[in-house]
Structure 1
Amino acid sequence: MEPNDFVILHLLEPKELFWGRLIRLDAAGAVIRGIDLKQVDSYKYELKATSRSIFPQTVFYPMRRIMQIAKDEWVDDIPSIADGMLQYAEISRDELLCEDEAHFA
């Protein structure tokens, strides 16, 4: 995994899945900007909406909580989560998890 790759973190204690853009990965853990995987569909539709209720966060997860990191990528003809959002919202990769409210107004 490289910085700026879109990934899915499989976390323990508590069990959860987190999707987003990897910022840093080292022996201490992972820094990722994203959202809970359960919110992905709602977030996708909010990308074209005039208001939002889901906001990406920049989060550090210690390595002791990380069970697995999977790269978000195409499988056969099924697009990755990120590519599906990009196609739907017609935005750039940089705008997908941006902090700037102007991109979502």
Structure 2
Amino acid sequence: MSNAPITDHTVPKQAHATENLLHAEDTGYHKSLKPRQIQMIAIGGAIGTGLFLGAGGRLNAAGPSLVIAYAVCGFFAFLILRALGELVLHRPSSGSFVSYAREFYGE
């Protein structure tokens, strides 16, 4: 290591570019989220956190069997979404499961 004083010549150009980005003005942005949308984001975050914390406690109590149950349920969810994708390619519709059930099984 050298004991040379640090000058402007020893600072890499990338450091100057990062410093300029930190002080850049955000001129092209505007607020577009409505209060209702922000409330829904907050509620979703609270529910999601509760689900993850609850699952952690259950994992601690149940052990590895719950991991297997999650994997099986995830596999079935994958198969259902895969079938829905096939239906969308076969007959495009904006109604999802309801429109397909109505079409193939009747009212």
Bin the TM-score by the shorter chain.
under 0.3
* TM-score of the two chains, using structure 2 as the length reference: 0.21
More strand per residue: 1 or 2?
1
* TM-score of the two chains, using structure 1 as the length reference: 0.22
Structure possessing the higher radius of gyration over alpha carbons: 2
More helix per residue: 1 or 2?
2
